[in-house]
Amino acid sequence: MKLADSLIIDARPLLPGDCGEDVIGFFQTYPNASLCPIVDAQRQVVGHVSRVKFQNRVAQPFGRTFVERKTVKDLTEPQSRSLLRNAQLETLFEGDAFETAHLIQDGFVVVDDDGLYAGLVTGIGVLAALNELASGLVADLKREVAERRRAEERIRRLAETDPLTGLGNRRAYLRSIEGAMDRDAPFACVFIDLDRFKSLNDQYGHAAGDAVLVEVSKRVRDFKSTLASARLGGDEFALILSQPEPSSVALMMAELHDCVLRPVSVGNACVTVGASIGWAEFPGDATTPAQLLHAADKAMLRIKAAGGGTTRFNETLDFADLNRTKLETQLRAAVFADAIKPALQPVADLHTGEIVGHEVFARWPNSGFSHDPSPSAFIPIAERAAFIDPLFWSIARQVFDAHPTPQGFLALNVSPSQLNATAFAARMQIALEEFGLSGEQIELEVTENVLVRDGDAVVRTLNQLRDLGVRICLDDFGTGYASLAMLTRLPLDKVKIDSCFVAPSEEHQKHGEGQILEATIALCRKLGFQSCAEGVEDQQTLDRLRDLGCDLAQGYFIGRPALLVPDRPRRVAVA
What, of Ca ion, ligand C2E, none, does residue 125 touch, CB below 5 to 8 Å by kind? none
Q: What is the largest CA-CA distance in the chain?
A: 153
415 binds ligand C2E (CB under 6 A): yes
Q: Give whichever of 229 and 413 is closer to Ca ion, judged by the CB atom.
A: 413
Q: Give whichever of 236 and 493 is closer to Ca ion, judged by the CB atom.
A: 493
Interface with ligand C2E in residues 472-501 (CB under 6 A): 475-476
Q: Give whichever of 285 and 445 is closer to Ca ion, judged by the CB atom.
A: 445
Other Cβ atoms closer than 10 A to 219 = 18
- Identify the CA nearest to 555 among candidates 502, 509, 493: 502
Task: Please choose, out of 21-29, 86-94, 398-406, 407-415, the segment that lies near ligand C2E by the rule CB under 6 A.
Answer: 407-415
Q: Give whichever of 71 and 449 is closer to ligand C2E, judged by the CB atom.
A: 449
Distances (CA, A) of 452 to 417, 447, 503: 10, 10, 29
Among 93, 98, 369, 556, binds ligand C2E (CB under 6 A): 556
Among 379, 399, 472, 516, binds ligand C2E (CB under 6 A): 379
How many residues bind ligand C2E (CB under 6 A)? The answer is: 22
Q: How far is the CB of 471 from ligand C2E (least distance, A)?
A: 15
The residues near 199 (Cβ < 8 Å, ≥ 6 apart) are: none
Q: Give whichever of 264 and 399 is closer to Ca ion, judged by the CB atom.
A: 399
375 binds ligand C2E (CB under 6 A): yes
Interface with Ca ion in residues 475-534 (CB under 5 A): 475-476
Interface with ligand C2E in residues 332-361 (CB under 6 A): 345, 361
Say if CB 193 and CB 275 are below 8 A apart: yes
Helix (H, G, I), strand (E, B) or coil at 316: helix
Q: Which helix (H) or strand (E) holds 54?
A: helix 51-58
Q: Give whichever of 80 and 479 is closer to ligand C2E, judged by the CB atom.
A: 479
> For the purposes of burial, counting CB atoms within 10 Å of the CB of 87, is it exposed (0-12), middle (13-18) or buried (19 or more)?
exposed
Q: How far is the CB of 499 from Ca ion (least distance, A)?
A: 7
Q: How far is the CB of 299 from ligand C2E (least distance, A)?
A: 33
Which parts of 306-368 are beta strand (E)?
A: 309-312, 341-349, 355-363
Say if CB 256 and CB 223 are below 8 A apart: yes
What, of ligand C2E, Ca ion, none, does residue 25 touch, CB below 5 to 8 Å by kind? none
- Identify the CA nearest to 169 among candidates 220, 219, 232: 232
Angle, helices 61-69/20-29, rounded to nearest 10 degrees:
90
Q: Which helix (H) or strand (E) holds 474?
A: strand 471-477
- Identify the CA nearest to 443 among candidates 525, 523, 533, 358: 358
Please give the Cα distance from 472 to 460 (Å, whole number).
13
Among 413, 441, 461, 541, binds ligand C2E (CB under 6 A): 413
284 binds ligand C2E (CB under 6 A): no
Residue nearest to ligand C2E (CB): 555
410 binds ligand C2E (CB under 6 A): no
Q: Give whichever of 180 and 414 is closer to ligand C2E, judged by the CB atom.
A: 414
443 binds Ca ion (CB under 5 A): no
DSSP string, 377-423: HHHHHHHHTT-HHHHHHHHHHHHHHHTTSS-SEEEEE--HHHHHSTT
Please give the Cα distance from 238 to 526 (Å, whole number).
66
Q: Give whichever of 63 and 555 is closer to ligand C2E, judged by the CB atom.
A: 555
Please give the Cα distance from 288 to 201 (Å, whole number).
35
Say if CB 133 and CB 120 are below 8 A apart: no
What is the Cβ-side half-sphere exposure of residue 302, based on CA atoms within 13 angstroms? 21
What, of ligand C2E, Ca ion, none, does residue 122 touch, CB below 5 to 8 Å by kind? none
Q: Give whichever of 280 and 339 is closer to ligand C2E, judged by the CB atom.
A: 339
448 binds Ca ion (CB under 5 A): no
Q: Give whichever of 225 and 417 is closer to ligand C2E, judged by the CB atom.
A: 417
Say if CB 550 and CB 532 are below 8 A apart: yes
Q: Give whichever of 168 and 504 is closer to Ca ion, judged by the CB atom.
A: 504
Please give the Cα distance from 29 to 9 (Å, whole number).
10
413 binds Ca ion (CB under 5 A): yes
Task: Please choose, out of 259-267, 325-333, 507-515, 533-541, the segment that lies near ligand C2E by the rule CB under 6 A.
Answer: 533-541
Residue nearest to Ca ion (CB): 445
Other Cβ atoms closer than 10 A to 231 = 28
Among 63, 107, 209, 555, binds ligand C2E (CB under 6 A): 555
Q: Which helix (H) or strand (E) holds 233?
A: strand 226-233
Binding mask 6-35 for ligand C2E (x = CB under 6 A): ------------------------------
Q: Give whichever of 162 and 389 is closer to ligand C2E, judged by the CB atom.
A: 389
Task: Please choose, out of 38-46, 259-267, 289-297, 409-417, the segment that lies near ligand C2E by the rule CB under 6 A.
Answer: 409-417
Q: Which residues bind ligand C2E (CB under 6 A)?
A: 345, 361-362, 374-376, 379, 395, 413-415, 445, 475-476, 534-537, 554-556, 561
